[in-house]
Amino acid sequence: MNKHPAERRRHKRFPVIRDLAEPLEIVVMGAKSFSLPGILTNLSAGGLDLILMGRLEQKGPVQITLNNIPSLDGYKISGRIVWTMEKGETSMVGIQFSGLPQEQENHINAMATSYWECESRIEGGEFEICFRECSYWNLCTKTSKLK
């Protein structure tokens, strides 16, 4: 029996769509390096998906600077493009990280765990869902979030 691709992933993904006015920049390395603005849609310790405001004319290794992600703000991550899907003048892109330091991997995994534990509490109808020490706190936009 074949597993769904998400079940084969080593790291849990979580959504990170925030303020669309604050995109990140991706630099595609190669014979002719270039950069494009993009919007991060989900993240895991193994990679990320994003929407690029442009089409990819070439593919290659990439470098991304994460913005507005707690404890990772301004952090540069190297990776490679593993899939693309172009639509009009935009592209959805999947990137696999290469050489992410253990400290950052642990932090991203903690955010993913917090996100999915919260989802389970909501689904289970628990009264106390949210807590300020949550690793996902600064990214959370859920209506159940503590004020």
Per-residue pLDDT in tens (0 to 9) along the chain, 147 residues: 444 344 456 788 777 765 443 467 777 776 666 777 788 888 899 998 888 888 877 677 888 887 777 677 778 889 998 988 988 888 898 999 998 889 888 888 998 888 888 888 888 888 777 777 777 777 777 766 655
Q: Quickly count: other Cβ atoms within 10 Å of residue 93's Cβ.
A: 24
Residue 36, φ and ψ in degrees, nearest 5: -140, 145
CA distances from 143 to 38, 125, 146 (A): 26, 14, 8
Check whether domain 5-97 has CATH 2.40.10.220, yes or no: yes
Cα-Cα end-to-end distance for the chain: 45
Fill in the DSSP letter of residue 32: T
d(CA 144, CA 129): 7
